[in-house]
Structure 1
Amino acid sequence: MKITVDEDKCCGAGSCVLTAPDVFDQRDEDGVVLLLDPEPAEHLHAAVRDAANVCPAAAITLDGGA
């Protein structure tokens, strides 16, 4: 699985951080998503898919992965 984030779309809701904290964080100054791991281990894939699904701005894109 490869993850990309669109920082311009991100609204800083933080749903991704709550859902997959090993993969996402937020910038202190504006709350915009920080991608910590663009190719996370397989055991994190379900949480990453959930994070992408709950993102209110649809700023997270997933490519591949089970």
Structure 2
Amino acid sequence: MQTLEIQVPDNKSRLVKGFLKELGVVIKVKKTHKEPNIDTVEAMNELKAGKGKHFKNVDELFKGL
């Protein structure tokens, strides 16, 4: 048995999966891990430093928006 890794555009994945299943190929979807952008990293660091806003409930959260 061989393992083959291919990258398929999201809008074509159903077509490719269907074709491969017809050929009897076992399909395992590999999830890709994306790195957070700089804004997300800064926000996470801010929260780790205790600088985030705290809300008692969801209503307070929405009022604060």
- Would the TM-score normalized by the shorter structure come out above 0.5? no
TM-score normalised by length of structure 2:
0.30
Please identify which structure carries the higher strand content: 1
Please identify which structure carries the higher helix content: 2
TM-score normalised by length of structure 1:
0.30
Q: Which has the higher contact order (CA 8 A, sep 6+)?
A: 1
- Of structures 1 and 2, the larger Rg is shown by 2
